[in-house]
Structure formats: structure tokens, C-alpha cells
Amino acid sequence: MRLRFAPSPTGALHIGGARTALFNWLLARHAGGALVLRIEDTDRERSTPENVEQILDALRWLELDWDEGPILQSARSERHREVLERLLHSGRAYRSSATAEDVQEYKRRHGAERGFRGAEERSGAVRLRVPEEGATVVHDAIRGETSFEHVHLDDPVIARADGSALYNFAVAIDDLDAAITHVVRGEDHLSNTPKQLLVLEAALAAGIRPLPAGAEPSLPVYAHLPLLHGPDGRKLSKRHGAASVQELRHAGYLPSAVRNYLALLGWGATDDATVLSTEALIEQFSLERVSRSPARFDETKLRWLDGVHLRELPAQELARRLEQFIGEAGLASEAQLSADPQRLVGAARISREKMQTLAEFWPLAGFFFTGPVEDPSARERWLDERGRALLAQARDALALAGAPDFDEPAVEAALAEVLERTGAKARDLYQPLRVAIAGRAVSPGIFESVALLGREETLARVDAALAPR
Ligand code: GLU
């Protein structure tokens, strides 16, 4: 199998493009085939080097690699001209000065259903000669067969008068030259397919690709992926939340979760499993199970999946990713995090039950590194007279706790003893302590948090909270 991903670098890589890239990648990896990356940069105005870099960067972040390329479509213009000459020479294409108005006029006279044929001239744009008879049949692996009667098809313009190739021509020739066996792309390209097939057939008939004796020229299999909708059933757009891979990255999603989620947009495992590792996706992915109906992008489900993937990461690995995320987001300095690397691993371990994305870590656990945050309402609510009295008791108990280790069970036992002695409710003891160490009323588990901070740091923070302000 030879597949390709052919983005137009006119902006960021969007969810739809990322899904197309992923499906091609999964098919290539499943079959032990090759994935070709082709950058369709013929729109010179919009295809900037920054946009190309942005797309490559998004693919790298998604951990989707490619085997050949990136091939720039713009670098192939000589080849496009060469094929065009062959088609003109063999009579399968012709020059014509017919304009869009001429085509409209023709339709007015002959009926809209009747395909337009131009008059051959010495100069003008290049049109492909659609055979009078027969039909072009698109075999789509997802949608089945669609037949396009030639009488209804206009002779398509394939190059401008200056000989520069138009989109459908360039795509078809590039697919042919790269020996692509499967064209897997978004449904919006369905209507281009008959034109591209006609170009391929004409090019093969004109002998642009010498075949070994006896070999049949073969055309690629097409597969058009279903549209993407938002949860409201409308075409996916910005208003449905994160729209580009870059935005997903900044929102703190893990690439493995994004791959898992994108794979489910139009595809499903035989057992309907939702949580799938990339290895499982590669093993199970097939075009046969891609659906025709629109898929729904729902960020709530992605968040949930991200939480699942996050909890499956070893704490060391999670810490590594958190460090990178926090650094990139500029939430903390490297010095703050690397002063005690074990603290980050520990904080990752005790926080992940309460997190769905990397972005949720810092608001929850930043206090381990920066000291208690400022939250006057939490102080007011929990550090009143009674709260401070209980906090003082907790302080004394923790000061004596845990020989030899100041660990979670030791902290729990020390606090249990205070509860028993004072008859206080757990919450009335734990919340003041939480506010003392974290500054706020939400944190990872209190025993784990206190144990991670260590006795010295905990007592210092409690003392600071008890000190008159
Ligand atoms: N360049 C096209 C796009 O970004 C894809 C063309 C194709 O896959 O045939 O939408």
C-alpha cells in the first residue's frame, strides 16, 4: 500500500486534516506500506514557509511520521508541463480560449446536463478531452461506486494559457508519479475525483508512465472520509472549541489521546472499544470499518479520553510532559521546577486522578513549587478562629509524626489522632490544613500532599498561615 497525505499549507492543520493524516498513517503502518507527504503549495500567496513549518510541526507533535517527502508540489511544475505536452501532442487535451461565460452560454443552449466541449484553438487554456462515450466510475472504498456519464461532464480546464497546471491535474499526476495505491481524504474532495480519474486515464493512455511488459495500468483506490460535525450537528468550525492541532496542544492534550480520539471520528473498533493505544489502532484499523455518516467532534469526550491516557502514563513520563508543557506555557521557570525533580514526579502521581489535561496540573498543584496561592475567600472560609485552633493541633501532631518516615500513612495517623481527640469532623481539620499549604480549598489528597511537601515545608507553611496578618 502506498498512501499520501497532501495538505495545502494555507494555515494551521485543522482537526479534519489531522484526521486525514492519521487515517493514512494508520493504514500505512497497518499494512507495512509507505506514507508520502506532499505539500500542495501551488497557491503561492497563501502557501508560506511558516504555514508549511506549522503543518510539519503539528504532524511531529501528533507523532505521525512519513516515509517519503515532504514533496513540494511547486517543485514539480516542470514535470506537470512535460505531461501536459504529451497530452496535447496525443490529442487528449487541447487549447481553447473558451471562458466560463462561454460554458454558461453553451449550457443555456444545450441544457445544463450537457457537458461542455470547447473548440480547439492555437492558444488558450488547456482542456482535457473527455471521451464522448461511456462513463467514469469512481470506486470508493467507503461509499461504493458512483458512475459519471461522460455526456454530462464538461471538458475540464487542466492548465492555464501559460502552461501552469491547475489543481486537479497536478494532484492526479503527483499521485501517479508517486505510485499511490490508495487516496484517502476528506469528503469535500469527492467531486474532484472523476476529473482526477480522467486525467489519470488520459495520462496513462498517452504513455507518460512506461509500464513493464504485460502490466495493467492501475488506478488508485479512493476513500472519502465522512464530514466532521460539532456536537450540535453542524459542520465543524471554530465555535465548537479547539479547531487546530496547535490549539489542542496548547490546551494540554496528550498526542496519544488526540490520536485515539481522531481515530474514532468515522471509524470504530469491532468491539466498540473507545480507549485504544496507538498499537491497538494500528493493528485494528481498516477502511472497511470507516462510516459514511458524518462524525461528531465533541471536545468533552476528548477531555475524558485524555484523562484516561494521562492516568496510564508512568509518573516519570507524565512529569516529563508536564515540565515541557509548563515551560512552553510559561507558567513557571525551569528553576522552580527543577529545584527538586522528585517533587514534580510526586506531584504528577498524586494529581492525575483529578486531571484531564496537562493544563489542569498547574492550577491544581503549582503550590507545591511556588508556595501557597492567594485566595482570600478560602482563607476567610477556613482559617477562622475555629479553623486556626484545629490547624494548630494538626501542626503539633505533624511535628511529632512519622518516625522513621513522614509518609502518607504517618500523616493520616497523626491527623486521625487529632480528629479523635477533638471530635472534629474530618473536613473541618483537613480544609484549614489544605488552605495553609496550598492557599486554596482544592488540592490533591491532603495526606499525599502533606507527605510530598515534607515535614519541614509543611510546618513552615502552617506557621505562616497561623501568623497574624
Ligand atoms: N490539498 C488538499 C487539501 O488540503 C488535499 C488534496 C488531496 O488529498 O487530494 O485539502
**pLDDT score of 215 more than 70:** no
Backbone φ and ψ of 376, nearest 5°: -55, -35
Q: Among 36, 185, 191, name the best residue to mutate to test ligand 1's pocket (greatest count of ligand atoms within 8 A of Cβ).
A: 185
Assess whether the C-beta atom of 6 lies below 6 angstroms from ligand 1: yes
Give residue 21 CA to ligand 1 midpoint distance, Å.
Answer: 11
The model's confidence at residue 334, banded by pLDDT at 50, 70 and 90, is confident
**Is the confidence at residue 62, as pLDDT, over 90?**
yes
Minimum mean pLDDT among 81-85, 242-246, 299-303: which range? 242-246
Q: Residue 279: which pLDDT band, with cuts at 50, 70 and 90?
A: very high
Tell me the three-class secondary structure of 307-346, residue by residue.
HHHHHHCCHHHHHHHHHHHHHHHCCCCHHHHHCCHHHHHH
Identify the pLDDT of residue 82: 96
Please choose from 2, 8, 27, 199 the residue to mutate so as to test ligand 1's pocket, defined by most ligand atoms within 8 A of CB.
8
- 40 C-beta closer than 6 A to ligand 1: yes
Q: What is the pLDDT of residue 218?
A: 80
Q: Which atom of ligand 1 is nearest to the CA of 175?
A: 9
Q: Please tell me if the CB atom of residue 220 comes closer than 6 angstroms to any atom of ligand 1.
A: no
pTM: 0.92
CA dihedral 248, 253, 256, 262 (to 10 degrees): -40
Residue 155 in contact with ligand 1 by CB distance below 6 A: no
Specify the long-range contacts of residues 324-327, CB closer than 8 Å, at least 24 apart: 325/252, 325/358, 325/359, 325/361, 326/361, 326/362
pLDDT more than 90, % of the chain: 88
Q: How far is the CA of 96 from the centre of ligand 1 (A)?
A: 27
Q: What is the pLDDT of residues 119-149, one digit of tens each?
A: 999 999 999 999 999 999 999 999 999 999 9
Asked whether 158 lines ligand 1 (CB < 6 A), one says no
User: Please, which residues bridge with residue 157 across strands?
Assistant: 127
* Phi, psi angle pair for 260, to nearest 5°: -55, -45
Percent of the chain with pLDDT over 70: 98
Find the 100 Cα to ligand 1 centroid distance in Å: 24
Mean of pLDDT values over 8-20: 94
- Among residues 157, 167, 158, 172, the alpha carbon closest in space to that of 208 is found at 172
pLDDT at 276 over 80: yes
| 171 ligand 1 Cβ < 6 A | yes
Q: How confident is the model at residue 232 (pLDDT cuts 50, 70, 90)?
A: confident
Residue 7 in contact with ligand 1 by CB distance below 6 A: yes
Does the Cβ of 189 fall within 6 Å of ligand 1? yes
Residue with cell 488540592: 443
Q: What is the pLDDT of residues 368-392, one digit of tens each?
A: 999 999 999 999 999 999 999 999 9
Q: Which atom in ligand 1 lies closest to the alpha carbon of residue 188?
A: 10
Mutation choice for ligand 1 from 171, 174, 199, 224, CB with most ligand atoms inside 8 A: 171
Residue written as grid cell 505539500: 39
Q: How far is the CA of 106 from the centre of ligand 1 (A)?
A: 31
Whether pLDDT at 343 is above 80: yes
Question: Which three cell numbers, joined as nine digits, stand for 316?
Answer: 516519570
Q: What mean pLDDT is reported for the chain?
A: 94
Cβ 81 under 6 angstroms from ligand 1: no
Closest protein CA for atom 6 of ligand 1 = 6
Which atom belonging to ligand 1 lies closest to the Cα atom of 10? Answer: 4
**Nearest atom, ligand 1, residue 185 CA:** 8
Q: Does 357 have pLDDT greater than 90?
A: yes
387 Cα–ligand 1 center, Å: 63
Q: Which long-range contacts (CB under 8 A, 24 or more apart) does 257-261 make?
A: 257/302, 257/305, 257/306, 257/308, 257/309, 257/310, 258/18, 258/62, 258/302, 258/306, 259/22, 259/62, 259/63, 259/64, 260/305, 260/309, 261/301, 261/302, 261/305, 261/306
User: Is 187 close to ligand 1, i.e. is its CB under 6 Å away?
Assistant: no
> Closest by alpha carbon to 372, among 242, 467, 235?
467
- Residue 71 CA from chain centroid, whole number: 22
235 is catalytic: no
- CA of residue 252 to ligand 1 center, whole Å: 28
Of 22, 189, 193, the one to substitute when testing ligand 1's pocket (max ligand atoms within 8 A of C-beta) is: 189
> Residue 244: its pLDDT value, please?
93
Pairing of strands 68-72, 34-39: parallel
Q: Choose, from 235, 238, 354, 425, the residue flagged as catalytic.
A: 238
Instruction: Decide whether any atom of ligand 1 lies within 6 Å of the 250 Cβ.
Output: no
The pLDDT of residue 230 is: 86
Would the pLDDT of 212 be above 70? Answer: no
Assess whether pLDDT exceeds 80 at residue 302: yes
Counting atoms of ligand 1 from 1, which one is nearest the CA of 40?
A: 1
Q: Is the dihedral of CA 443, 445, 450, 453 positive or negative?
A: negative
Tell me the helices (H) and strands (E) count for the chain, helix number first: 21, 12
What is the per-residue pLDDT for 337?
82
pLDDT digits (tens, 9 = 90+) for 32-48: 999 999 999 988 888 89
Q: What is the mean pLDDT of residues 205-230?
A: 84
Q: Which residue has the cell 496507538?
A: 278
Separation of CA 373 and ligand 1 centre (Å): 49
